[in-house]
Amino acid sequence: MADIVLDKVSKRFPDGTTAVQDVDLEIADGEFVILVGPSGCGKSTTLNMIAGLEDISSGELRIGGERVNDKAPRDRDIAMVFQSYALYPNMTVRENMAFPLRLAKLDKETINQKVDEAAKVLELTALLDRKPANLSGGQRQRVAMGRAIVRQPKAFLMDEPLSNLDAKLRVQMRTVVSRLQKQLGTTTVYVTHDQTEAMTLGDRVVIMRGGAVQQVGPPQELYDHPRNLFVAGFIGSPSMNFVHAAVEDGKLRTALGDVPIGERVRRELEAGDAPRELILGIRPEHFEDAALIDDETRRRGMEFEAPVDIVESMGSDKYVYFTVEGERATAAELEELAADAGAADFAGGGSNLVTRLSAESPVREGESRRVWFNLEKIHLFDPGSGRNLTLHEGRSAGALAD
């Protein structure tokens, strides 16, 4: 077991493209870190560099305090789990799991004992004599995990290990992975493009975009205090709503009405190069049916009225989609996020608002409904740089903060 340190690690390909740019990351011993981002953000390349499957163009990689830039994968003592599982088709489950041990020239008895142990942990004992072709997706995935854990390596590297499973099994395996990592206490770097996995699994999450790290932190912190527009839009499901906001007379003119701003944001906006147009971000759960809130809560936010487009009842609460007039928020980050979600050409006119209202709300499709939203929870972003203007010393305090 060991810590992993990436010190200004970059990857440039011969054709000139930079896949990973100056990534600084310190992963503590036993920590579970998730690399997440849309496709092509450099997360897999970063993982491959840690594994030694890709050369590091510049910067330094240390595992357990030792520089390993020039070491072959087999000398780094790391185990990797692949999205395709990469099981050796000609070997049985037992042989697959024993493969790294056999290469390490352990004696037969130790190998058998270790394989049996790992098989027991992953409930593979009954399958040991089968070949991968005769296993289900979930079983193959467990064998791949088994092959990684038998060696007791310094670190586990996982490249979207659950992406090929169906949704139900994925949720189940998520807890298996999580429990296994806690039990073994092995440093783990886990790559995924699924933000739910990122939120639920990791001690810390690293959000990447275009080869650069956007923000590193515990999942809740990323959710509550996103440093920029990209992080805000990437984390959360359904994702944060973004509304165009024009700065006028010390107020923000938005499709949700005129939003007042506090001292701190005002100071930000008085700077010479401050943008005149902003993007207002608010999460679905920070809306509520205006009829259902008490007066004290009402004071912390403001209300607007809009036609209800669609109501999705989830049982515990309702997802209500509104259509609001006005300009759509535009920024490079948002377009990238939409493209990743495959919805780039699917936006329609006006802005769509996703809200999560209480299940008690009698809201109906087609009617016009008054909705309250929490001003303390809104974020303001600079559309040019994507920076979160409401963030102060790493904490987001809403638009009204003084």
Partner 1 sequence: MSVNATPAGAQAAAEAESEQSGGRHAAVPQQRSRRGSRAPLSENKRAERRLGWLLCAPAALVMVLVTAYPILYSVWLSLQRFDLRFPDERQFVGLENYVTVLTNDFWWTAFGVTALITVVTVAVELVLGMGLALIMHRTLVGRGIVRTAALIPYGIVTVVAAFSWRYAWTPGTGYLANLFDGSAPLTERASSLAIIMLAEIWKTTPFMALLLMAGLALVPEDLLKAASTDGATAWQRFTKVMLPVMKPAILVALLFRTLDAFRVFDNIFVLTNGGNETSSVSMLAYNNLIRGLNLGIGSTMSVLIFITVAIIAFVFVKLFGTAAPGSDDGERR
Judged by the rule CB under 8 A, the positions of this chain that interact with partner 1 are 48, 51-53, 72-74, 76, 78-80, 82-84, 86, 88-90, 92, 99-100, 103-104, 129-131, 133-134, 147, 151, 157
Looking at beta carbons only, is 75 or 312 nearer to partner 1?
75
Number of H helices, E strands in the chain: 11, 22
| Alpha helices in 300-388, H assignment, sequence order | 332-341
**Min CB(73)–partner 1 separation in Å:** 4
Looking at beta carbons only, is 39 or 368 nearer to partner 1?
39
Detail the DSSP E strand segments found in 13-149.
18-27, 32-36, 58-63, 66-67, 78-81
Give the Cα separation of 180 and 175 in Å (integer): 8
Q: State whether residue 396 is helix, strand or coil.
A: strand
**Min CB(147)–partner 1 separation in Å:** 7
Looking at beta carbons only, is 133 or 167 nearer to partner 1?
133
Q: DSSP states of 211-231 as a string?
A: TEEEEEE-HHHHHHS-SBHHH
146, 118 contact by CB (below 8 A): yes
Burial class (CB in 10 A: 0-12, 13-18, 19+), 233: buried
Looking at beta carbons only, is 103 or 343 nearer to partner 1?
103
Looking at beta carbons only, is 79 or 119 nearer to partner 1?
79
**Min CB(129)–partner 1 separation in Å:** 7
**Min CB(332)–partner 1 separation in Å:** 32
Of 45, 53, 225, the closest CA to residue 35 belongs to 45
**Min CB(46)–partner 1 separation in Å:** 15
**Min CB(175)–partner 1 separation in Å:** 24
Looking at beta carbons only, is 102 or 298 nearer to partner 1?
102
Cis geometry, peptide bond prior to residue 238 (ω within 30 degrees of 0) = yes
Looking at beta carbons only, is 126 or 344 nearer to partner 1?
126
**Min CB(53)–partner 1 separation in Å:** 5
Q: State whether residue 268 is helix, strand or coil.
A: helix
**Min CB(205)–partner 1 separation in Å:** 24
Looking at beta carbons only, is 86 or 311 nearer to partner 1?
86
Q: b or e along 43-56 (b: 16 or more beta carbons within 10 Å of the residue's beta carbon)? A: bbbbbbbbbbebeb
Task: Give the other-Cβ count within 10 Å of 74's Cβ.
Answer: 11
